[in-house]
Amino acid sequence: MGKCFLILFQFADMSIGNNSTSQEILNLIGDEAFTRLCMVFGGTRLPIADSVGSRQRLGVVVGDALAEKMISQFRGEALEIPKLSSLEVKKRHQAIINDLAGGMNVKTAAIKYDMTQRNIRKIANQHSKDNK
C-alpha cells in the first residue's frame, strides 16, 4: 500500500470508526479506486442501486468494471464513504485542475467529482489566480 493511501485510510478509520464495510470496499476495488471514491463521495452516504444512474456515477469514478463489482456486492445498500482530510481535498483540487488541463470539460469534471459545475469553475479560477 502506498504511503498516501495509508494516511487516507487511517483518517477514514478515525472518522467512521472501525468500519468493516470500508474494508470490504477496499478489498473489492483496490487502493487507487477506493481513494478516488473517497475523494469524490467522502463524508456522504452513497446509495448503490442496479440502475443506469448508479452505474454512470460509479463508473466515472472507479471505472465500469469496478462499478459493476460494487453494484453486485452492495446492491440496495447506502454505503458510508469516509471523509477526506484537508490534504486530500488539495489533492482532489489538483486532480480536477489536471483533468481540465487535459481537455476534460467542466460538466464532465462535475459529474466525475460529484460537484456542481460552479464549484469546478471556482477551483479552476482560484488555481488561475494563484498561478499569476
Read off the pLDDT of residues 68-96 as tens digits, 9 standing for 90 and up.
999 999 999 999 998 877 667 788 899 99
- Exposure pattern of 65-97 as b/e (b: 16+ CB <10 Å)? ebbebbbeebeeeebbbbbbbeebeebbbebbb
Per-residue cell: 112: 466525475
The pLDDT score that the predictor gives to residue 97 is 95
Q: Is the pTM of this model over 0.75?
A: no
Q: CA-CA distance, 30 to 9, in Å (whole number)? A: 12
> What does the pLDDT read at residue 19?
62
pLDDT of residue 103: 97
Instruction: Give the pLDDT score at 31.
Output: 80
Counting Cα atoms < 13 Å in the Cβ hemisphere of 121 gives: 4
Average pLDDT for runs of 10 along the chain of length 132: 41 46 90 87 93 95 97 96 76 92 96 92 92 82
